Structure 1
Amino acid sequence: MTTTATRITTGKAQVTVSSNRPAVTEWSRRYFGPWWNAAPTTEEAAQTVVANVDPGHAAHVAGIVKDFQHDETTYANTRTLVGQDHDGHLYAAQPADQLSYDAAPDHSRLTISGHHDLPLALAAARLAREMIRGQLLRDGWSILHASAVVQNGQTLLTFGPKGAGKTTTALLLARAGWALLANDRVFARPDNNGGVRVLPWPSAAAIGFGLLDALDLYTPVRQRVLDGDELHPTQHQRVTDALKAGLREPLWNNAGKELKPQFFPDQLHTWLGLTLATEGTAAALLFPQVTPSATAPETGPESALTDDDFFTGKTEDRYPDIFGLTTHTRSQTTAVRELLTALPTRTVILGHDAKANSDFLTKTAEGLNLSEGS
C-alpha cells in the first residue's frame, strides 16, 4: 500500500498525518501550511494520525465500539459513539460519516478509517490539530479567544465577545499592511524575556457578505467561485448559491446564525491578498465594539480581560477531548493574564464605514508605538 505523509510543526509540537490517499495528506498541507509549517515528510513524528480509506477496517472498529460499553456524544457536530477496551485503547465511530477511530493508550497513534477521501481529510486535520493542541498545552501554552495581527514581530491582540468585531478589526489591519496571525483564537505563553509569545490556531475563516463588500473583496471572491474555484466544503450551499447569483445581503439559518463564506487558511493569502504570520510577541490589546449608529470611530471607555477571553476544556464544546489528547496540561494562564494586563490597551468603537475604521485603527496602532518595532 502506497502512503504519503505530511509533517506539521509549530513551537515544539509535531504531528505527522499519513494516508493511503494523497488527497488526505495534501489537505493537511494546504490547511496548516500557512501557519503551522506543514510539509511532505517520509518520517513519523512522536504522534501520528493515520487516515486510510479502508471500509473493512472501519466496519471492524465500528463493531468493536458496539461490542463494548460505550458513550454517545457530539463531536464536530456529528453523533459519535465512544468506547474503551480492557487494554486502554479508545474506539469511536461516527455512523453518519462512515468513520471509525482507534486511539492508542499512550496517545502516540490515532488511526482513522473510512469510505471516502473528504470525510477522512477533514477528520485527519481536525485530530492532528487536537494533537498539536495537547502538546502545546502540556508545554505551558494557553488558548486565547482573540484575533491577532503582527508587524515587526509585535502582535496586536483583539478581544471581545462574539460579534464584537474581532475578525473585522484583524482583517481591516491586515488589509492595511499588517500580517494576519489569527482571526478567532491564538496560543500564548510567557517567553524568556518577560513577554508573551503568540502562535496561530489554524482554522477556516468565516467572513460575512457585508464585511467582504466593505473590504472590496466580494467581487473578486465571487469571480473565483464563478470560475469554478471552491471555498471550504463546510460552507452552506446557500452561501455558494448566493455568491453565484451576485447576492450581497446577509443570509441566516433557522437558528438565527449568519451563514458566511468559509475560506481555507491559504485562501486568505491567495484569494484575499493578505500576508500571514506564523508567530509574534504580544505588544498591545484592542477591545472593539461595532456600533452601527456611530457617526465616526472613536476611543471608548477602558476595558479589561475577562475569563471569557481564555479557552478551557469546559468551553471547548465543538471538539470535546474524547481521545484524551489534552490531558496533563501545564497551563500558565495566570501568568499570561498578568503579562497581558500590563500591556497598552485601547477600546475602540467602530461604525460601518470600513475606510474610516481602517484609518482609525491604523492611527490607534501608531499611537501605541507598534509600527516602530520593539
Structure 2
Amino acid sequence: MDNPHDDEQIAEIKKELQTNGCVSAAAKIQTYLDELDNIQLNIAVTGESGSGKSTLVNAFRGIHNSETKKAAPTGVKETTIKVTPYPHPNYPNVTLWDLPGIGTTKFPADKYLKLVEFKRFDFFIIISADRFRENDVKLAQEIQKMGKKFYFVRSKIDHNIRDEEESQGSEFNEEETLKEIREDCIQGLKGCVQSPKVFLVSSCKLHLYDFPLLEKTFQEELPAQKRDALLLALPNISREIIIKKKEALQARIKYLATMSALGAAVPVPGLSFAADMAMMVTTIRKYQATFGLDSESLQRLAQTVGKPLDELRSVMTSPLAGKEINKDLIIKILCSSVAFLSLMTAEEGSRFIPFFGIPAAMGLSFVSTYQSLNMFLDMLAEDAQKVLGLNLSMISHWV
C-alpha cells in the first residue's frame, strides 16, 4: 500500500541529496518516517450507559476487560464519568476516547459536543445495545452539521443471535435475523439522519458480523495520511488485515534501504553495517508489535482466547518466533543466508575501488537492506497468519 505522497517525498529527498549531501538526505528520510509513526488519530466512542462502549474500546486495542491497569472499566452501570483517553498499547499515536453517555446530568445533550471538546476527534462511533435513542440522533445531527464522520454501531449482536436462536429453534435463520436488526435500526434513524448506516458488531468476536465492513469504511473515508495509522493499530481479525499491514510496512522499506545506502557513502569500514543492524532491530521490533507477536500482545491474546501462551507460540515457525529481537539474533539469521553474506562482502570490498567503489557500496547496501527487511517482514506476516488461524479455530468452538 504505497503512500499517496511517495512521489513528492522521493523528489524532495533527491533534491536534498543534490543540494546538501548524503547525511542531510538521510536525516530528511528519518524525519519523514518519524512523522508517519506519529500521525495522531483520535477516535471518540460514545453511547448510553451499558451500551458496550468500554468493551469495544478494549477489544479494538487488543486488551482484555480484566486488565485493570490498561483496560477501560466495564459494567452495567455508567462507568465512564469523564472523557477518558485510551492510547493503543503498541501505537500510542492512535487513541480511543471513551466518552460519557450523552444526556447524563454532567453531559446534557445540548452541551455535549462542547463539553467533550468535539474538535479533537477525527470521527465518532455512536454505540447502542438495542435501538438508537433521541440523544444519539441529536448527537449525530450535530456532528453532521460540523462536517465530521460518525458511525452507528449496534453492539452485543452475539447476544441477540443467541437469544433468537434459542427462541426460534429450527426456524432460526442468522442472515435473516441480522437483516431484521439492521433494518429496524435504520428505520428508526431515517428522517432524522442523512443516509444512516448501521454496523452490527460483537466486541467479543470482532471477526464476525459487520466489524470488517466498518474497518473497510474507516479506510475509505479517512484522510490518506491517517489510514495507515488506523490500519497498523487494528487487531488481527482477518487475513486481509494482516496482508494490508504487510503492504503498508513494505511501502516504507525503500526509504529504510535508501538510508542504508546513504550511510554506506561514509568511507569508514564497518560503520554502515553497524548502523544497518541498529536500524533493523528497531524496524523488526516494530513489525513484531504491529502483527501482535511481541510478548505482551501474545499474552493478551492468550488471556482472551483462554489458551496457554506456549500453544500460541507453537504454531509460529520463523526463526524470530518467541525470541527477543536483538542485534545478535538478526546477525545470526542473516549470516545463514549465502546471498546476504555475498552482498556484505562485496559491499565492504568495493569501498577500496577507486572512483566507483563508494557508489557500488551504496548500491549493494540498498539491495542487502531491502532484501533483508522484506525477508523478516515475510517471516512475521506468515507467523501472524498462523496465530490468527489458531485463534479463529479456537473461537469457532465457542460459536
Is TM > 0.5 for Structure 1 vs Structure 2?
no
In terms of fraction of residues, the more helix-rich structure is 2
When normalised by structure 2's length, the TM-score is 0.30
Larger radius of gyration between Structure 1 and Structure 2: 2
TM-score, reference length from structure 1: 0.32
The structure with more strand, counted as a fraction of residues: 1
